[in-house]
Structure 1
Amino acid sequence: MPGILLGDVLPNFEADTTIGKIHFHEFLGNSWGILFSHPRDFTPVCTTELARAAKLSDEFKKRDVKMIALSIDSVEDHRKWSEDIMAFNQEKTCSPLPYPIIADDKRELAVLLGMLDPDERDKDGMPLTARCVFIVGPDKRLKLSVLYPATTGRNFDEILRVIDSLQLTATKKVATPVDWKPGQEVMVIPSLSEEEAKKLFPAGFTTKDVPSGKKYIRYTKL
């Protein structure tokens, strides 16, 4: 099955959405992007996810991340479903969903991007779209991919944390350790020599002693 690997440029696909026809690259412009797919409209877990994403839309906007969802149903169904999603958030039904939903009723995009879940099928035996998360950089390359089964809802707080890490490490020669959150110490990447690290991090860094004696676990504050 075709799919997208980390570092690949996502195709500049054309799609019908709840805001009209788009070309993906033009939609993103120079921003980061998140594309998250859903098994189908009017399903319980998907509704909770899209509602949570809507509540966090200002957080994505602060990070210059454009949001776009995908589901295998029609634009008309998406628009009706959007009312349920906003009502779930206890928003007035006239409040628009703050991001578009792609209509992929022929599953063409789901096949192209490797989003189909072979174990989850509809009443006609057709495979449903899995819960994919694609984070795309301004260069249109895939920076992160997470694939959940249809039965497991995503954690959008974790998605925001990952975006913070991706955006930080895209411009600094650092990595983020386990359970890292913004404001905490980061790690100096192993490819930097001690001399290079001292120049790049004049405030200094600390090295954790380990039995091997190797000096590869180095922490610094930004």
Structure 2
Amino acid sequence: MLPWIELDRATIPGDGDELRLKQRGQEFSIMLGSNELMNSRLSGSEEALATLAHERIAGGKNLSMLIGGLGMGFTLRAALAVLPGDARVTVAELVPAVVDWARGPMAELHKGTLDDPRVDIHVGDVGALIRSKKAAYDAILLDVDNGPDGLTRPSNDSLYSHTGLRAAQAALRAGGVLSVWSSAPDSAFTRRLREVGFAADEVNVRANGKRGGARHMIWMATKR
């Protein structure tokens, strides 16, 4: 079996922990310590994050979508595949090196999506961007941690708190949807979504889509 090769390391701003980009043949992995945040062989649930959200907002004009976390670009690719030509997609990525990796060693995975005219790349904290907006988005998609807690960086906890969820609600247009990816269920998070006024559904998806794989969770929370 081919060995893993470490291609690069990147410090997470404001945190000090490091992301590591690794490659084995055509396979890529992004690691945080001993935790694998994402792997290029597993994309089904990240793609579902976009397609499920689009199903809730389809038919609107000049749709605006915010994706929190660029990662390996699976969610962005899936969103662009279903969104119309007049849509706008903002991708907020905290770690500048992740954008560099998308244009460099992982360019084949991203397939030019960063250069799509519908796409804007915002290098910075998605939480701060959300808090700065009012009724700006039809959909907000969050895949910045392995679930609704600050695994990647502790300050991300605020995204999933009552205060953070109210900020997301304010940033959404009427009928907009907050879509959150997780590697596992979290009943407390479902309660918080409903407590702030979202109509929240839990959707089980497979890591590799129709080909199976581990079970992941996506919350679909609609602004009433």
Range into which the TM-score falls when normalised by the shorter chain: 0.3 to 0.5
- What TM-score does the superposition give when structure 2 sets the normalisation length? 0.33
More strand by share: 2
More helix by share: 2
Greater RCO (Cα-Cα under 8 Å, separation 6 or more)? 1
Query: Which entry has the higher C-alpha Rg, 1 or 2?
Result: 1
